[in-house]
Amino acid sequence: MRVLCLTLHIGARDIQWCLEQLGHTCDIASYSGHSHIMGWTQKGVDWDLPRLLDAQYCKAWYDRHPEYHGYDAYIGFYEPVVSLLFAKSGKPVVMCCPVRYGFPFQSRLDELNEVLHPLIDSGVLTMVANGRYDQKYAEENVDREVLCIESLCAYVGNSGYGGQKAGWVVDSRVTMPECKGTINKSEALPAGHLWNDIGKYSGFVMLPYNASQMSFYERYWLNMPHLFPSEGLMWTWSQSRVLQELTWFGCSVDYSLMDWFQYPHLEYFDSVSEYARKVQWLDTDKISERIRLTNIERKKKVLGQWEKLVQSLS
């Protein structure tokens, strides 16, 4: 199958990698400012985002782009609503939801759902989330089935965990208390770093700003240990130290469905003092090996899910 994926985020490389592994073609139309990281040419946005709920506007946009015609199916990755640009193409469309599906129409969800319902019910559009949090959020609001296919991000390669014990990297938008054996991400992995550079560190202390982040998937594929605030502490720190971007949506979905509490072999701390202790004594080699074995099974599962979805589009 020949598929076109339109995206404003380079995370679409994950979908491209998976489909290519299965023998399909997935071309990328990237409008991301970070396109160069994946070797893509950035295109200039030429649509009016607020008008994507207008079917005739989307059809006119599609008609103006003959270079996008001739594909067997289309994928809209980010923002998810860009998938609507292909709704009148006469071909199946996949709306991928790496964030809340309604962005940037969070105040107009009823209007968006009115557009989505006939497309889903007629089999034109399939919704796919890459985590259980966004799956549940979408299903509760759209009142339709949403598939869940995890992000592998295996495009980073197989350099894996080096175990050189160069310390724990703190990945946070806010300052964490200084702790022996840790180093800030900006210092450890400056702009332009290579995937191989990640594996020389012991692991990552992560204070997530959202329910899912592509950088986590990339590092998990590299078998990197991760240390997170516990679910209770996540609630306490919410919107001040963590999960700042969830405030855009007023989400009430169970925090336990976030990736940080779904993936196996992650570690947690209930306090800053426990965090300081754990970065000293956690057996990172053992954790990394467990993640490596998990990733073998994850790859089989995710590729199987994508193949099943592609076959359903045929």
Neighbour tally for 161: CB within 10 Å: 23
Q: Which residues pair with 171 in a beta bridge?
A: 206
- Domain for residue 173, yes or no? yes
- Domain for residue 145, yes or no? yes
Check whether residue 102 and residue 189 sit in a common domain: no
Check whether residue 198 and residue 165 sit in a common domain: yes
Q: pLDDT tens digits for 116-163?
A: 999 999 999 999 999 999 999 999 999 999 999 999 999 999 877 876
User: Residue 60 pLDDT more than 60?
Assistant: yes
Q: Which residue has the tokens 């599962």?
A: 301
Q: What's the CA gap between 1 and 22, in Å, rounded?
A: 10
Which of 64-78, 153-167, 224-238 has the largest mean confidence?
Answer: 64-78
Check whether residue 79 and residue 188 sit in a common domain: no
- Domain for residue 269, yes or no? yes
Total structural domains within the chain: 2
Check whether residue 16 and residue 140 sit in a common domain: yes
Q: What is the domain extent for residue 274?
A: 155-297
Which residues contact residue 172 at a Cβ distance below 8 angstroms, ignoring those fewer than 6 apart? 185, 205, 206, 207, 241
Q: Please identify, among 123, 149, 175, the residue that sits at the C-terminal boundary of a domain.
A: 149
For residue 239, the 8-state DSSP code is T
Q: pLDDT tens digits for 69-113?
A: 999 999 999 999 999 999 999 999 999 999 889 988 988 999 999
Q: What are phi and psi of 97, to 5 degrees?
A: -125, 80
Which residues contact residue 268 at a Cβ distance below 8 angstroms, ignoring those fewer than 6 apart? 227, 228, 229, 230, 231
CATH number, domain containing residue 48: 3.40.50.2000
| The pLDDT value given to residue 249 | 54
